[in-house]
Structure 1
Amino acid sequence: MKNKNILIAVPCFNEEKRLPLQDFVDYICNNEQVFCFINDGSTDRTIDVLTQLKTKFPDKVIVVDSKINLGKSNALQYGYQSVKNHDFTHFAYLDADLATPIEEIIRMSDYLDNQVEFVFGSRVNRIGSNIKRKLYRHLIGRFFATINSLLLRIPVYDTQCGAKIISKELSEEVFVRKFDTNWVFDVEIFFRILQFKKGSDINIYAKEIPLEVWTDIGVSSIKPKHYFGIFTDLFKIYRIYR
């Protein structure tokens, strides 16, 4: 596929001291990639850090500032709506902590072509890869992934990996309105794509790519008390889209 122009979105909430700024600077210095950093109502100086980055790279950095905290899902939706008139062919997103390195998104983009419109990472720990994940989070993740696969009725291994690339045409459908969930919005993305592509073989337009590198960074924001809400959200979106 020629002339792929991928815009990478990075939602940020209170990342003043946590953002791996030098990693972004080093990459932006040596590549033509354009990034969209979305300040999701941060209460620290995140917006100042992002503004400084934009000042340093005015042609490669876009900053979208939400004055209120929307949550990751709707921060991405707000970010997409803010940049959709820019020149790009694909919309991607990464976690601000770079658990998935930027290079992995670029490697994943090699699988895009005129038919493949949706590429997403999969955290499969295998020989030759460097996937660092706490055991309990892996086990919980496999449990939820199995439920997600059953609800979606597709053989997906990892819906929740925070590294996805979606064609602009498909992004228009995915981010057209606010999400109904936050913790499991990745599953909602799959439901929206399946709804739009109803009748099409997902094996033709989507690919799940095992990551080469992924690192479990920091402490999970999901606590035991959130699990009931996660299950509630899963069945909520199942009812909406099925």
Structure 2
Amino acid sequence: MPETVLVVPCFNEARRLAVEQFEGFVKVHPDLRFLFVNDGSTDNTLAVLRGLEERDAAHFSVLDQQPNQGKAEAVRRGMLVAFETDARYAGFWDADLATPLEAAPEFVDLLESRPHLEMVFGSRVKLLGRSIERSALRHYLGRVFATAASLTLGLAIYDTQCGAKLFRVSPEIAALFQEPFITRWIFDVEIIARLIRARRGSEQPQPEDVIYELPLRAWHDMAGSKVRASDFPKAIFETLRIHRKYLSRRARSDR
């Protein structure tokens, strides 16, 4: 597998971080490295991460972000570090492993076999033969949000919020992470909006041609999620902010 770096944002993950799974995975896939971003945790997360780094610095590194600044900034800062490595691919993966690590090689294989692709996004599609375990409430709220995100972006995208994404390393992709995100939780939508804005009117391949949604074989809703159903109205409001900032007529004239 080509050199790949996965950024793992962590906030108070000391009790549920599956250390043994991470350590076992890199033994089988030595070309994959993890960059853990401690986002101002108030528990023992930093010590747990430092322990991983001390035992295997070739595969595990730690970026300590103080104070807590939210998942969006943790991912953004981690990705900027990842883009400075010699990795061919860089992405981010949720610390709770709702998407199993075993899915990561499939993301890499897609980018390897399809040179025109620049991004692979995990997609939680409930299909026969797949194990997608998500509460009914979260599923239906997710479908409503996905519709709002698709309308905002003008792209028929099924799942913007799955926490497993991989990117082909390039200056153009790195540029999408240079500025802080204006949204705290739906920065995934903002990444796509930035790509749309950057490619609009250019001869570069358009987002619908370079983004691939990969239906996951397994995804399990984990206890302790930082996202609550009560955050749903806020997420809808943030799609409007994204549209106004990047995709509105005013945004086009401000370029």
Please tell me the TM-score bracket, short chain as reference.
over 0.9
Structure 2 counterpart of 1:5, one-letter code: E
TM-score, normalised on structure 1?
0.94
Contact 1:74 1:178 in 2 (8 A): yes
Structure 1 counterpart of 2:61, one-letter code: I
Contact 1:124 1:210 in 2 (8 A): yes
Change (3 A) 1:161 1:35: same
> In the alignment, which residue of structure 2 is the partner of 1:88?
87
Change (3 A) 1:190 1:11: same
Q: CA deviation at 1:224?
A: 4.8
Measured in 2, the distance between the counterparts of 1:122 and 1:138 equals 12
SS of the residue corresponding to residue 186 of structure 1 reads helix
Q: CA deviation at 1:225?
A: 4.1
Measured in 1, the distance between the counterparts of 2:206 and 2:49 equals 40
Measured in 1, the distance between the counterparts of 2:198 and 2:102 equals 30
SS of the residue corresponding to residue 53 of structure 2 reads helix
SS of the residue corresponding to residue 91 of structure 1 reads strand
Measured in 1, the distance between the counterparts of 2:19 and 2:88 equals 26
Contact 2:98 2:220 in 1 (8 A): yes
- 2:227 is the counterpart of 1:229: no
Contact 1:91 1:171 in 2 (8 A): no
Contact 1:173 1:193 in 2 (8 A): no
> In the alignment, which residue of structure 1 is the partner of 2:180?
178
> In the alignment, which residue of structure 2 is the partner of 1:13?
11
Q: How many residues align?
A: 240
Any residues of structure 2 matched to 1:1-242 within 5 Å, and which? 4-32=2-30, 33-112=32-111, 113-169=114-170, 170-199=172-201, 200-242=205-247
Q: What CA deviation, in whole Å up to 9, does each residue of 1:54-110 have, x standing for no partner?
A: 111111111111121111111011112334321111111110000001111221221
TM-score, normalised on structure 2?
0.89
Q: What CA deviation, in whole Å up to 9, does each residue of 1:11-45 have, x standing for no partner?
A: 00011111111111111222211111110111111
Measured in 2, the distance between the counterparts of 1:114 and 1:138 equals 33
Structure 2 counterpart of 1:46, one-letter code: T
Structure 2 counterpart of 1:210, one-letter code: P
Measured in 2, the distance between the counterparts of 1:143 and 1:203 equals 21
Unmatched segments (≥5 aa) in structure 2: 248-255
Q: CA deviation at 1:193?
A: 1.6
Measured in 1, the distance between the counterparts of 2:221 and 2:227 equals 14
Measured in 2, the distance between the counterparts of 1:154 and 1:225 equals 26
Measured in 1, the distance between the counterparts of 2:48 and 2:149 equals 36
Range with bigger deviation, 99-108 or 225-234: 225-234
Contact 2:141 2:232 in 1 (8 A): no
Structure 1 counterpart of 2:175, one-letter code: E
Q: What CA deviation, in whole Å up to 9, does each residue of 1:179-204 have, x standing for no partner?
A: 10012111101111222222433342
Measured in 1, the distance between the counterparts of 2:228 and 2:44 equals 26
Range with bigger deviation, 106-115 or 194-203: 194-203
TM-align CA RMSD: 1.5
Measured in 2, the distance between the counterparts of 1:224 and 1:80 equals 27
